[in-house]
Amino acid sequence: MTATASLHRSYAQDIDLSTLYKLFQLRIEVFVVEQSCPYAELDGRDLDSDTRHLWLEEDGEIISTLRLIEEHDGGKSFRIGRLCTERSRRGQGHTSRLLQTALADVGSSLCKIHAQTYLVDMYAKHGFVVDGDEYLLDGVPHVPMKRGGYR
């Protein structure tokens, strides 16, 4: 039996380079290698001052991560992205734990996500609704979703 994964959260400017490297490593392992989806992982948003990184760590290993970007496009809103969990750790509630933590930070503000289509039901369980038509992003079917920000 392994230890319970510890939750970590850090703004971009406060994260140490070793941890940031491990976050990138996991994201590339899942999205580029496992899903065979070459994409621009280094998009410039990871170091924005309003970007928060959330991750779960177990026995010194990062097993799940999420990026939460605060946006200011006519008002305060958020964007969740780069959510992934190491293959051998899936199905243990890690993704939901990270989502619940990020959404607690978001509160009732608008939060958007470009969801891989096969994950729409999972995001719906966290209050997201489809907000547009399916499209291909880097060759993978996605659908825009949103939560909160209702007036």
CA distance 57 to 70: 23
3-class secondary structure for 100-132?
HHHHHHHCCCEEEEEEEHHHHHHHHCCCCEECC
CATH class (in words) of the domain with range 6-109 = alpha beta
Average pLDDT on 17-34 reads 89
| 49-104 pLDDT per residue, tens | 999 999 999 988 999 999 999 998 778 899 999 999 999 889 898 999 999 999 99
Q: Is the pLDDT of residue 25 over 80?
A: yes
Q: Quote the pLDDT of residue 1.
A: 35
Using the predicted structure, report yes or no on whether residue 15 has a pLDDT greater than 50.
Answer: yes
Alpha-carbon distance values, 151 to 2, 71, 147, 148 (Å): 44, 18, 12, 9
This prediction's pTM: 0.88
- Name the residue ranges covered by the structural domains of the chain: 6-109
Q: How far apart are the C-alpha atoms of 151 and 139, rounded to whole Å?
A: 35
Cβ within 8 Å of residue 31, ≥6 positions away: 37, 39, 41, 84
Mean pLDDT, rounded, for 117-131: 95
What integer pLDDT is reported at residue 31 of this predicted model? Answer: 85
